[in-house]
Chain A
Amino acid sequence: MGAIPVEHGLILAGILFSLGLIGVLTRRNIVFVLMSLEVMLNACGLAFIVAGSRWEQADGQIMFVLILTLAAAEVAVGLGLIIQMYRRFQTVDINVLSELKG
């Protein structure tokens, strides 16, 4: 339709991605870190959709479907890791995972 400028969509995707990145860097609860990763992946999908609607091609939505698949697999593995971590350390604080001393 051309009514919504493509820059605004991309700016929104950038804002959401930055917020997710801030969440990943600042939070110490690993469940919040995983949620922030979801926000970042979602912002990536939003950028693809914006580009796809700008050129009116279906490829943007196909990329979004693939990102959705990736997010589902990532969240399944990540939550399995969280459960395992909680069993071993009885906490979800990622600061306790500092046994690897360089």
Chain B
Amino acid sequence: MMLLFYLAAFVAVIATVCVIVQTNIVHALIYLILSLLAVAVIFYTLGAPLAAMLEAIVYAGAIMVLFLFVIMMLNLGQNTREQERAWLAGRGWILPALLAAVLLAQLLYVLSGVEGMSAPEQVGVMAVGARLFGPYVLAVELASILLLAGLISAYHLARKPGAEDE
């Protein structure tokens, strides 16, 4: 577990540095997804499997897809064709592939069921759910109201001006 933690931490830091120094926006997004997946591995090694799953599904899945949609809508690459060519020919995918391979190796290592790997003293899904709908039920309600407000404001903000006249 120690080794897994430090390897994932290394991957997370490298990927995050690459996020803030990248100029190509899609490359930066790939590094950001890698960083989030590495943090998900860290959550697992810390004995928080529910948080690890949520990190992979919600953060690296849903939120990053939202980013990708907006990048597509903005169509930021005016010279998209040259970018695509550089993407296919260049070395832009080598470092992300290496870092992702490290994470994949960690996943396979955990799945292979080596003795003592099953993260003792986990705080499981049941404990989190029991507390979430017990003492924290008011926070859950507030979070739902926050999401509703975010939904309405995102719809309002992203609407085309003058669209209400139709």
Contact = CB atoms under 8 A, between A and B. Distances in A.
Given A66-B139, A72-B150, A16 B74 contact: no
Interface string B13-47: 10011011000010011001001100100110111
A4 B5 CA distance: 8
Contacts of B5: 4, 8-9
Interface stretch (B62-70, B94-102, B103-111): B62-70
A53 B147 contact: no
Interface residues of B, number: 64
A86 to B, nearest CB: 5
Contacts of B136: 62
Contacts of A61: 48, 50-51, 123, 128
B121 interface: yes
A76 B66 contact: yes
B154 A1 contact: no
Given A56-B121, A69-B147, A75-B63, A62 B16 contact: no
Contact of B48 (A22, A29, A35, A60): A60
A3 B2 contact: yes
Contacts of A38: 32, 59, 63
B71 interface: yes
Contacts of B147: 69, 72-73
Interface of A: 1, 3-4, 8-9, 12, 15-16, 19-20, 22-23, 26-27, 29, 31-32, 34-36, 38-39, 42, 45-46, 49-50, 52-53, 56-62, 64-66, 68-77, 79-84, 86-87, 92
